Amino acid sequence: MHNNTQEKVEVPKEYPQVMALPLTRRPLFPGFYKTLFVKDPKVINAINDLMARKQPFISVFMTKDETFDGDVVNDMSQIYDVGVFAQISNVYHSGPDNKGLTILLYPHRRIKIKNLIPPLNKEELETSNSNNNSQKQNSKKEDNTNNDNNKNNNEVENKNDKKEGKEGKDEKDEIELPKEYTDQFDEVNLPLAKFNVSVVDVVNLEDEKYNPEDSIIKAVNAELLSVLKEISQINQLFREQIISFSIQNGGTFFAEAPQLADFAAAVSTGEPSELQGVLECLDIEERLQKALLVIKKELANVKLQQEISKEVDKKITRKQQEYFLMEQLRGIKKELGIDTDGKEKLIEKFKTRASKLKMPEEVQKVFNEELNKLESIDSLSPEFNVTNNYLDWITQIPWGQRSEENFDLKHAETVLNEDHYGLKEVKERILEFIAVGKLKNSVEGKIICLVGPPGVGKTSVGKSIARALNRDFFRFSVGGLSDVAEIKGHRRTYVGAMPGKIIQALKKVQTENPLILIDEIDKLGKGTHGDLSSALLELLDPEQNNAFLDHYMDVPVDLSRVLFVCTANVLDTIPGPLLDRMEVISLSGYVAEEKTNIGLQYLSPQALAINGLEKKNVKLHKDAIELLIHSYARESGVRGLKKLIDKIYRKAALKLVKAEELATTKEEIEEAKNMKLDITAENLKNYVGPPIFTSERLYDKTQPGVVMGLAWTSMGGSSLYIESTLDKPLSYYNADNKKVYSIPQFSQTGQLGSVMKESSVIAYTFAKAFLLKHDPKNTFFQYASIHMHVPEGATPKDGPSAGCTITTALLSLAMNQPVKDNVAMTGEITLTGKILKIGGLREKTIAAKRSGVKYILFPEDNKNDWNKLPEYIKEGITGIPVGWYDEIFNFVFEKGDNKVKDI
């Protein structure tokens, strides 16, 4: 800490110009020391300069804005014009990194501002500096001798700058100030000009003459002393201030009316405006009156604080009395056997619960410790509730409690068929899983992940597996979850702490071997509170979850007997380490025939029961369901179809109820009760409105430059058209009747992803090379400015499997020849024309069937995927595997041998 104690300096009676410091919230009064903290480097340097020149005098004025946070005054409107002339008694560095300065001030007298010399703003400084620089340059041209002298002077100034930099001044070059600015400073304060601080011209304010023997002044003096004495008897801090000031001033301020008024205002916590009023008042009688008003308000505040303190003390004392009385009452009741303590009941409850469980040795030890702690803690203590809640949770985890599993394959097959239509591959995979479990007498260590579009029945398949195995079922979603505490629990030190979802699941199902379904595992949130994927890995990994540690429970919990089933729409966003430990079962979308049967056998009966129509004569016909699927609900799943069937039955219920309410005669009532409603394809729009989808195909007849591709999305498969056209003519005649050819270029639109854009460039390059080889006379690509578009523009698209489709569209445009009708294709193309394997062939085939396609061209490497498709999906469609693009070209443009072979 730097300490600079000012040597004794004679205080001048007149000091007409002085540096000004602003002070917030309360003014200074003559005769009473005050410390101020300064943080502005310019002001700190100026104060150091004053101390070095043995002119340790400044002025202090209170700001009108209590939130003011500066050390310089830029405008007179910021401060009151009456303040004090003060002497700096001591300075020392303080604040962060000792960059601030604390100064001890002794105010000598009242002063008033005549004029403010504000600091120069940034623009004025820059203008001044630039003008001075130009003047220096002109001077250099005129006088080389002066230039040498200036160099010597600059060297001296640089040395001085370095010295000032050591004391906190951070200025690169000495700035020459405008003459009109420096002319405002007197000789004593001229050195302050370079620091750019606030300087004021002031006049001294003298107290008006008064008669100490005046009766009013005597009375007010006496009242002031009386109030000060009363406050000091109540407030210890106030009494210490009086003693301190009395020692400091030798007690003289009690005898002098002006000093007494200033003292009363200085030690009070009054309003800033009232205190400023005392400072500005030069009439002694008026000053005493204002000081008395301030100190009277202080007395009222002190008395109010005393009353509040007494009330609080009474309440605390009363609570202590109640506590002792309650303890005595409990003791008496215990002796008489009238009532047993609530704590004893809790302890007995926890012991009873624990006796029915098979806690591991480590858990039993923790339970005993917590139970002993509960016995020793007072029931009114906050720790009592924390321990009570922990014991409640630890005794509700089903330690050693298991449900008996059912590995009967016939039972499992019956359950799966009752709950789901189709899904042959999925059912077979689940039955294989159960069969292995029967041989091992356990399904431990398996994590099933059901992947497929929304609405295909992933969650309900999980419920069916639980019902088939006779396991309790619990479901929770991690979609958008960002706090790892939801999985691992909160620490017990937090208010409202709870265990994670897994411990909550075990508490609810009351078995150690439930089936827990974790939904939306592909949509984990990205939070700042821990890594969710790592927490799930610890939870799901068979190598780790036999001793899962929840933060709240803080004891190892064996989760190896839990069967975890996860659901996801896509695999791409599932973290790699998690996916590596899962048994993936894909649930593709349903074709129209499957959705029709699901609607008839499952959704329609369920909707009848939900809407109270089981005993009513309402029937949804098969042709209506088929029309619903074709024109209203084309998604891969059946959730949309379920909503539409619910809507139909709600409309039917409304019709029936209205008919019954409008019926008046007995015959009409009977007729309304027996009303028959048949919902068919003809009257379906009366229930669900006009069709949403009129056609799956954008083009009924193919045209040059347009080819149908097939895409896979998280919602299932869909048709994907590739459109290409010329955006400029190949050639035209200019104003000189000279033939000008277009510049070849290739642009793409349709919100394509980076992979699909790259694939389109590859297709464009291959198409040019292929056409050159196939038809050298065709110069289309040499001049063609092509625009390729993929509808629909609002839907993002990405992936390489449209490569062969883009190539075909470009060649179709180049040859001005449309492709064969009712053909769709999918496959990634290379620069040599090789067709590479793609994914989602089942979903793409379903989409092609919806669009009425007769031929599907797909990569030869996907031949096994095609053979695995059920016959009812392939019915009416011919699949053509291709290895090279020549085969696609020959087929779609009917060139050479293009006979279709059924595979």
Confidence of residue 253 (pLDDT cuts 50, 70, 90): low
Average pLDDT score over residue span 256-285: 83
Decide if pLDDT at 300 tops 60: yes
Cβ distance 806 to 788 under 8 Å? yes
Among the listed ranges 226-230, 292-296, 406-410, 565-569, which one has the minimum average pLDDT value? 226-230
Q: Provide the annotated binding site for ATP.
A: 452-459
User: What sign does the CA torsion over 145, 150, 155, 160 have?
Assistant: positive
Binding site, residues?
A: 452-459
Beta bridge partners of 752: 797
Integer Cα distance of 456 and 423 in angstroms = 9
Decide which of 1.10.8.60, 3.50.50.60, 3.30.70.20, 1.10.10.60 is the CATH code for 592-688. 1.10.8.60
Q: Which CATH architecture has domain 409-586?
A: 3-Layer(aba) Sandwich (3.40)
Q: Which two structure tokens, joined as six digits, stand for 689?
A: 């409105």
Q: Which two tokens stand for residue 642?
A: 């379920």
- Give 141's pLDDT tier (boundaries 50, 70, 90): very low
Q: What is the mean pLDDT of residues 398-420?
A: 87
Per-domain residue ranges of the chain = 17-122+179-204, 208-338, 341-395, 409-586, 592-688, 706-893
**Residue 125 pLDDT grade (very low, low, confident, very high; cuts 50, 70, 90):** low
**Secondary structure, 3-state, 158-222:** HHHHHHHHHCCCCCCCCCCCCHHHHCCCCCCCHHHHHHCCCEEEEEECCCCCCCCCCHHHHHHHH
The chain-wide mean pLDDT, for the chain, equals 82
Measured CA angle at 574 (ends 572, 580), to 5 deg: 100
Give the residue with greater pLDDT, 674 vs 237.
Answer: 674
Tens of pLDDT, residue by residue over 436-477, are 888 877 776 678 899 888 888 888 888 988 888 888 999 988
Q: Provide the β-strand partners of residue 859.
A: 882
Q: What is the DSSP letter of 422?
A: S
Residues that are catalytic: 801, 844
- Tokens, residue 119: 């600091």
Which listed CATH number (2.30.130.40, 3.80.10.10, 3.40.50.300, 3.40.50.10470) goes with 17-122+179-204? 2.30.130.40
Q: What is the mean pLDDT of residues 479-494?
A: 82
Asked whether residue 380 carries a pLDDT value surpassing 60, the answer given is yes
What is the fold, at CATH topology level, of the domain defined by 208-338? Methane Monooxygenase Hydroxylase; Chain G, domain 1 (1.20.58)
DSSP calls for 302-327: HHHHHHHHHHHHHHHHHHHHHHHHHH
Confidence of residue 562 (pLDDT cuts 50, 70, 90): confident
pLDDT band at 902 (very low <50, low <70, confident <90, very high): very low
Highest-confidence range of 116-125, 165-174, 582-591, 729-738, by mean pLDDT?
582-591
- 65/378: higher pLDDT: 65
Percent of the chain whose predicted confidence (pLDDT) is above 70: 87
What CA–CA distance (Å, rounded) separates 58 from 83?
A: 11
Cβ atoms of residues 74 and 65 within 8 Å: no
Confidence of residue 650 (pLDDT cuts 50, 70, 90): very high
Judge if the upstream peptide bond of residue 792 is cis by omega within 30 degrees of 0. Answer: yes
- Residue 156 confidence class, pLDDT cut points 50, 70, 90: very low
- 706-893: CATH topology is Ribosomal Protein S5; domain 2 (3.30.230)
pLDDT at 158 over 50: no
Rounded to an integer, the average pLDDT of 796-813 is 90
- pLDDT band of 897, cuts 50, 70, 90: very low
Q: How confident is the model at residue 220 (pLDDT cuts 50, 70, 90)?
A: confident
Contacts 24+ apart (CB under 8 A), 366-371: 366/394, 366/554, 366/555, 367/391, 367/394, 367/395, 370/394, 371/347
pLDDT for 882:
94
Supply 4's token pair. 């600079």
Q: What's 603's DSSP letter? A: I
Q: Using 50, 70 and 90 to split pLDDT, how confident is the model at 279?
A: confident
pLDDT: is 794 or 217 the higher one?
217
pLDDT digits (tens, 9 = 90+) for 501-525: 889 999 999 998 898 999 988 888 7
Position 647 scores a pLDDT of 92
DSSP-assigned letters across all residues of 555-573 = SEE--TT-EEEEEES-STT
pLDDT > 50? residue 610? yes
pLDDT of residue 716: 66
Alpha-carbon span 360 to 399, nearest angstrom: 8
Q: Which carries the bigger pLDDT value, residue 733 or residue 805?
A: 805
